[in-house]
Structure 1
Amino acid sequence: MVNIKRYFIELGLQKVAIDEYLASKFWRAGYAGVDIIKTPLGVRIIIYAQRPGMIIGRRGQNLRVIQAVFERLFRIENPQITVVEVPDPDLNARVVAFNIALALERGIHFRRAAFIALRRIMNAGAVGCEIVISGKLRTERARYEKLVAGKVYKSGDQSLQLVDRAVAHVLLKPGVYGVQVLITKPGMPADYVEVLPPEKAQEKLKELGVEVSAEGVAEGGAGAAS
């Protein structure tokens, strides 16, 4: 009999291993993540990236290499690989972190790269963003710089539901630089309360069947509340 707990733990470890492999190979393509779906015909693997063409390769050459790696290293029989473009790359923390790391590798100043990324994230509709770049930025001593815009949740259920996190590393001549990105995606937090103006509030009460009088509010005309 198969141990259910062990089975799901092994599935999770396999996905983490595949994710780390793809991130290390295709971070320059704006790799965003992977989904693994088991079907009766085999295993379907969906790879998300900002630039799918770099992962597919010329005439699908890279896909054939990835398929062989999955069969040999991860023991996945008959993997069906699909590469999909990320719909909103500026709202994906992993894509943004890899893009900043790529800009640093090209010689762009770290503050300029961070400001450009921060502006693009907020223009894409994010509620908030935090970018932290660490390393030997200007001196031989390692330090970090943080850029923050909008609202970024650090704890609670909202940080789990609305905040996307990612970390990227890039090796430069001074040493290893680290890039951490937190993006608060558009969405309604659990404690959100909208206060309507009096005119709209009266319209809403009428829709709910609540009568409004000068003395107070009476539900269904049964009497006024003092």
Structure 2
Amino acid sequence: MTEALEAQVNDDSDEYEELEEYDAPPPRSLGWILVVGGVLSFIASFILSAERVEMLKDPNYMPTCSINDVLKCSTVMGSSQGELFGFPNPFIGLAAFPIVILSGALALSSARVPSWFWRWLLVGSTYGIVLVGWLIFQSLYEIRALCPYCMVVWACVIPIFWRTLGFTLADGHFGPNVAAAGISRFLGRFWWLLTLISYAAVTTMVLIAFRYAFF
């Protein structure tokens, strides 16, 4: 009898631990940011991929997003930075952004998703923001040209990163101690402010780098 009770308690404990891996449904703001940002970024990546294929087939092909000496996709895509891993950077977006869209759909559906999923999403979005930051620097100070479709991806990855970071930290996906920290609560509440600051910083950098074209 005692052994049966202990076995039942252990079963209940295992079930409880399994359920603990699933937290409350994410906020809808996260879902919308992931879905909208993911869709726009995927479209931009798809167009850039198609344009890059045309450039490979015809070296004289001029992409539709090459507008002037500043907004010139051909210069950006033809640079070594445009193929960071040995293939066109937009191909990364074709693989990555469907996962972002799926994550947003799960958030909007209030599905019970394990914490490890959101932690890995944060890893991916961190990789994305680091890559975007590096590409911004390269575009402004090395390539000296801007790609309009790339800028769409920049504009989407920034809020995706800040919202995902704030959510995963503040909602306990790294544990209650992390969630209780002041910085986690700040990021969870003011992710939008950090997004606006990031936009302002990038805009200022663009205006300074290409001041001859804007002023």
**TM class, shorter-length:** under 0.3
Normalization by structure 2: what TM-score?
Answer: 0.23
The one of the two structures with greater contact order (alpha-carbon pairs below 8 A, sep at least 6) is 2
Of structures 1 and 2, the larger Rg is shown by 1
* Structure with more of its chain in helix, by fraction: 2
* Structure with more of its chain in strand, by fraction: 1
